Amino acid sequence: MDAFGLLQQDHRHASSLMIRIKTEFGKTDVSLLPMFQELTSALQDHAQVEELYVYPVFQQSEITRDSAAKALEDHRKMKVLLDELAGMSRVDYRWVQKFNEFYEAAERHMHMEEEELFAQSGDVLTAQEADELETKIDAAKKDISGQTLPPAGEIRRHG
């Protein structure tokens, strides 16, 4: 699987978790906390990898610079929403409203990444650069569970 396939796999996982949470709203015998914690952890890990390895590559290209800046701003906004949700009672109707706001923002963001950034990766990266990025992302995803991340550095520009 290529670098962007790995990230899209994360997107599918996050979407699945969000949908599971939405289907459990209002069920008294189900605690949303474990699912919400899993979602938060998965998204934090995913965002960390993107911010360290992926967005810097897209920021270097005039073609994708604006989309990368938008993606970083989306991450900031979603982190604020996740923090707000974490501080609210999950039985409060306002939590459901805030979660729906978060869900819409996250889905828009993932769609934008896939359609505007990932889809243009072939215009931004050589095959060798894409392979290097895949190696860094794969290593980071394996190491992120409490271990030190490999150095971000820069993707070596070839040619």
Average pLDDT across the chain, whole number: 88
Q: Is the pLDDT of residue 83 over 60?
A: yes
Q: Is the pLDDT of residue 27 over 50?
A: yes
H-state helical runs in the chain:
3-24, 33-49, 55-59, 65-86, 93-112, 121-124, 127-143
CB atoms within 10 A of CB 127: 9
Which band of pLDDT confidence, cut at 50, 70 and 90, is reported for residue 30? low
Residue with token string 């109707």: 93
Identify the pLDDT of residue 143.
83
Read off the pLDDT of each residue in 53-72 and give the average, rounded to a whole number.
95
Q: CA torsion angle for 72, 57, 17, 138 (degrees, to 10)?
A: -150
- Could you report the per-residue pLDDT of 101-153, keeping only the tens digit for each? 999 999 999 999 999 999 999 999 999 999 999 999 988 888 876 544 445 55
> Which amino acid makes up residue 119?
A
What is the rounded distance in angstroms from the CA atom of residue 75 to the CA atom of residue 71? 6
What is the rounded distance in angstroms from the CA atom of residue 121 to the CA atom of residue 142? 23
Identify the pLDDT of residue 104.
98
> What are the sequence ranges of the domains in the chain?
3-143
CATH superfamily of 3-143: nmb1532 protein domain like (1.20.120.520)
